[in-house]
Amino acid sequence: MDGINRNEEGYLTDFSQWNKEVATNIAKECEIDLTDKHWEVIDYLQGKHKNEEALSIRGIKKSGVINIKEFYALFPGGPLKISTKIAGIPKPKSCI
């Protein structure tokens, strides 16, 4: 993605560059086709980030937005890591 600033792990370094097209392209790199449920989770994550709230699997579980089993199904292979990358926000400290 030309002109989009990302770090070595593929996370945006400037959230102002994020839009749905960028998110869709990052999702494709992760072999994910975004659905309405994906967007609901992305909106939730961005809201938490804007409020400077720490993100964790436990927090997702308590969110009421999605259950953990569905979260893993939507974002296989590291749901919090992948979902935050698509959402354009920094990798949570809880992710390795």
Active site residues: 95
Q: CA 44 → CA 5, 50, 59, 80, distances in Å?
A: 23, 10, 11, 12
> Tell me, what DSSP letter sits at residue 92?
P
**Tokens in use for 71?**
């979260």
Q: Which residues contact 1 (CB under 8 A, 6 or more apart)?
A: 22, 25, 26
**Tokens in use for 95?**
């992710």
